[in-house]
């Protein structure tokens, strides 16, 4: 019922059409059962053969119409669900996504949506079978309402017993779904840490034995318990159905007087329904899994909706365009996050920083001093606990955060490289990209084909150069580079600092660089050191060599 209710909320028109077609199929199936019952009882109608084959054609046509409608509805909803989840993920603050965790997000957008999709492979058949059962019960009520009432009492008792018996496997199914998050985390650690594990046989063996095996074993235990429970419950349901037939044949005549002919028809219809009921019972675990998946998806949607940023058009920078040169400022900004375990909370601030258009600013400091956190604050990924970040004199708020970010392009230290260039609005994209590839000596490794890089199978330094190409092509007013040159060879470091940065300055771009390359600090207009949670500007960039 939860699944049907969900489909109804998404598109009641399509569901109504599928229901009407299913009703036509069910009525035709019930009429077939009545026709067969008449023939068995020796009361065959005139032109019974024509009626029989005509009803068979109607059953097939109506069932196909209902199935096709449900398939299209389900796939349309699934596609829209994927798109909506993607949009909500992108609109949710980065800190919130970090709090939810990548394993849980991956499990929902892959495993849960797949569970939701798989149920629709059998849902059309289950839908038509369900309607067929209802129609046949209606025909039985028409034959003898007394016997029908007795049958309903028996079936209701069976349903109550079934619901009670189903609670245990349903509870373990929810536990099994929680264990899926653990499996995703463990296997993500395995894939991301392959090199580290392959270097140490003892450590890799311990990881499999202490992490992978217990997690997989617990999932195996829960899955076996769940499916065994549903198998037993399904067997109970089938047994109760045969019990109903036995009660009608051997007990009902002593309670409710009924002609033998009516009892025979009741029994025949019940035997006719064994197939549809067995099919529904077999589908029940899949339906329950889909129900649990919908719960998890809706929980994620609720979490993402809580902190979703205000919508904005993709290229909108409205609200920050003043006509004057760009001016980025932090005033008394503080940010803190709790430490883990017994560690003291880490705090930045109060921070005061002003950066003008066309400036190249280096941010330096020791490891763990908060340089990347500062960059995340400037980019709007972390929210300041107090103080104000403003652009062109306009304070940044949740309402204009999306528009604010449209002024920035960044290459993070843990960057992700997209195969697609994703900026079709620029007509000269291909030629500009080819020029940057040549400047970075990548033209013999990579080409631009159909708006994509021809390959991403490159070294980490080469991949970072492609990330730089993507950032350049965005052509934003402000660039943030977090340790970009850290894994580049000396030749490309020199190109970056002495050729690419002056080119950006000449184009009026503001550049913020987190760096330890003290040999190139003289390329900066200003060098700012982050130490003990505070910023200190070094008066002469050359002096920063010793300070770093």
* CATH number of the domain bearing residue 354: 3.40.50.300
Residue of higher predicted confidence among 240 and 514 = 514
27 and 136, same domain (yes or no): yes
pLDDT for res 327: 93
- Which of 306, 340, 358 is the endpoint of a domain? 306
Percentage of residues in the chain having pLDDT higher than 90: 17
Q: Out of 61-75, 214-228, 417-431, 522-536, which region has the weakest mean confidence (pLDDT)?
A: 417-431
Strand partners, 333: 351
pLDDT band of residue 351 (cuts 50, 70, 90) is very high
- Which of 274, 306, 338 is the endpoint of a domain? 306
Token pair 């492979």 in the structure block, residue? 121
Domain assignment present for 318: no
pLDDT for res 248: 76
Domain assignment present for 514: yes
pLDDT for res 312: 47
pLDDT for res 42: 66
Distances (CA, A) of 382 to 77, 94, 313, 374, 533: 33, 7, 22, 9, 16
Q: Which DSSP state fits 108?
A: I
Averaged over 111-137, what is the pLDDT?
75
pLDDT for res 528: 93
In this model, does residue 194 exceed pLDDT 50?
yes
Predicted TM-score (pTM) of the model is: 0.70
Give dist(CA 15, CA 258) in Å, integer.
39
Which tens digits make up the pLDDT trace of 286-340? 778 877 888 888 878 777 766 655 454 445 555 677 667 899 999 999 998 765 5
Which tens digits make up the pLDDT trace of 398-410? 888 888 988 999 9
48 and 160, same domain (yes or no): yes
Give which of 337, 362, 366, 358 is closest to 349, Cα–Cα.
337
Domain assignment present for 313: no
Give which of 416, 502, 515 is closest to 467, Cα–Cα.
416
Q: Out of 43-57, 323-337, 527-541, which region has the weakest mean confidence (pLDDT)?
A: 43-57
pLDDT band of residue 544 (cuts 50, 70, 90) is very low
Give dist(CA 309, CA 406) in Å, integer.
14
Give dist(CA 291, CA 297) in Å, integer.
10
Strands 360-364 and 386-391, how do they pair?
Answer: unpaired
Alpha helical stretches, state H, 360-453 = 371-378, 401-405, 429-439
164 and 26, same domain (yes or no): yes
Strand partners, 479: 409, 511
Q: Out of 19-28, 137-146, 263-272, which region has the weakest mean confidence (pLDDT)?
A: 19-28
pLDDT for res 425: 55
Which tens digits make up the pLDDT trace of 412-464? 988 888 888 776 555 677 778 888 888 888 888 888 887 788 888 888 888 98
- Which of 250, 271, 306 is the endpoint of a domain? 306
144 and 282, same domain (yes or no): yes
Q: Using CA of residue 346, residue 352, residue 358, residue 364, what is the dihedral sign?
A: negative
pLDDT for res 34: 73
pLDDT band of residue 360 (cuts 50, 70, 90) is very high
Is residue 115 exposed (0-12), middle (13-18) or buried (19+ Cβ within 10 Å)? buried
pLDDT for res 437: 87
Percentage of residues in the chain having pLDDT higher than 70: 87
Domain assignment present for 249: yes
Distances (CA, A) of 406 to 315, 354, 427, 503: 7, 19, 19, 21
Residue of higher predicted confidence among 425 and 136 = 136
172 and 252, same domain (yes or no): yes
Average pLDDT for the chain: 81
In this model, does residue 542 exceed pLDDT 60?
no
Query: Which domain covers residue 184, as residue numbers?
Result: 2-306
390 and 429, same domain (yes or no): yes
Give dist(CA 515, CA 209) in Å, integer.
41
Name the domain count of the chain.
Answer: 2
CATH code for position 167: 1.20.1560.10
295 and 173, same domain (yes or no): yes
Q: What is the DSSP secondary-structure string of 296-351? A: HHHHHHHHHHHTPPPP--TT--TTS--SSPPEEEEEEEEEEEPPSTTPPPEEEEEE
Domain assignment present for 39: yes
Domain assignment present for 319: no
Element (H, E) at 391: strand 386-391
Which tens digits make up the pLDDT trace of 501-533? 999 999 999 999 998 888 899 899 999 999 888
How many residues comprise the chain? Answer: 548
Domain assignment present for 72: yes
Token pair 């490159």 in the structure block, residue? 458
In this model, does residue 147 exceed pLDDT 80?
yes
344 and 264, same domain (yes or no): no
90 and 121, same domain (yes or no): yes
Domain assignment present for 228: yes
284 and 333, same domain (yes or no): no
237 and 331, same domain (yes or no): no
282 and 212, same domain (yes or no): yes
Q: Out of 199-203, 229-233, 270-274, 307-311, which region has the weakest mean confidence (pLDDT)?
A: 307-311
């Amino acid at each position: 019922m939860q699944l049907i209710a969900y489909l109804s909320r998404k598109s009641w028109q399509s569901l109504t059409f599928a229901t009407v077609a299913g009703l036509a199929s069910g009525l035709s199936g019930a009429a077939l059962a009545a026709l067969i019952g008449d023939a068995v009882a020796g009361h065959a109608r005139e032109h019974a053969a024509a009626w029989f084959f005509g009803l068979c054609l109607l059953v097939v046509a109506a069932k196909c119409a209902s199935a096709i409608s449900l398939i299209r509805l389900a796939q349309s909803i699934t596609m829209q669900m994927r798109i909506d989840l993607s949009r909500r993920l992108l609109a949710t603050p980065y800190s919130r996504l970090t709090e939810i965790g990548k394993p849980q997000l991956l499990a929902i957008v892959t495993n849960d949506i797949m569970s939701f999709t798989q149920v629709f492979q059998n849902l059309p058949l289950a839908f038509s079978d369900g309607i067929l059962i209802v129609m046949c019960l209606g025909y039985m009520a028409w034959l003898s309402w007394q016997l029908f009432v007795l049958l309903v009492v028996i079936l209701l008792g069976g349903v109550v017993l079934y619901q009670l018996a189903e609670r245990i496997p349903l509870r373990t199914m929810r536990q099994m779904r929680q264990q899926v998050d653990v499996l995703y985390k463990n296997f993500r650690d395995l894939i991301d840490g392959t090199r580290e594990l392959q270097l140490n046989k003892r450590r890799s063996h311990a990881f499999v034995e202490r992490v992978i095996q217990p997690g997989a074993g617990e999932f195996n235990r829960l899955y076996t318990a769940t499916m065994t429970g549903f198998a037993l419950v399904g067997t109970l349901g089938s047994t109760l159905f045969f019990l109903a037939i036995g009660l009608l044949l051997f007990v009902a005549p002593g309670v409710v007087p009924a002609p033998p002919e009516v009892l025979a028809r009741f029994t025949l219809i019940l035997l006719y329904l064994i197939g549809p009921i067995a099919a529904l019972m077999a589908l029940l675990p899949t339906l329950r899994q889909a129900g649990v998946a919908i719960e998890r998806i809706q929980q994620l949607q609720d979490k993402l909706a809580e902190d979703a940023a205000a919508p904005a058009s993709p290229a909108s920078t409205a609200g920050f365009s003043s006509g004057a040169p760009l001016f980025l400022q932090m005033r008394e900004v503080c940010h803190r996050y709790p430490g883990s375990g017994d560690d003291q909370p880490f705090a930045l601030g109060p921070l005061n920083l002003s950066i003008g258009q066309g400036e190249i600013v280096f941010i330096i400091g020791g490891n763990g001093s908060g340089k990347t956190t500062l960059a995340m604050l400037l980019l709007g990924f972390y929210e300041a606990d107090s103080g104000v970040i403003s652009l062109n004199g306009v304070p940044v708020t949740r309402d204009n955060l999306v528009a604010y970010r449209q002024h920035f392009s960044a290459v993070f230290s843990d960057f992700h490289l997209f195969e697609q260039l994703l900026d079709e609005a620029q007509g000269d994209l291909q030629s500009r990209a080819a020029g940057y590839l040549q400047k970075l000596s990548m033209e013999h490794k990579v080409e631009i084909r159909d708006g994509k890089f021809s390959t991403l199978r490159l070294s980490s330094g080469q991949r970072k150069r492609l990330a730089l190409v993507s950032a350049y092509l965005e052509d934003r007013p402000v660039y943030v580079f977090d340790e970009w040159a850290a894994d580049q060879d000396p030749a490309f470091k020199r190109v970056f600092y002495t050729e690419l940065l002056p080119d950006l300055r000449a184009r009026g771009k503001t550049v913020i660089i987190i760096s330890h390359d003290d040999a190139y600090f003289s390329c900066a207009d200003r060098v700012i050191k982050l130490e003990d949670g505070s910023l200190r500007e070094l008066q002469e960039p050359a002096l920063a060599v010793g300070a770093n």
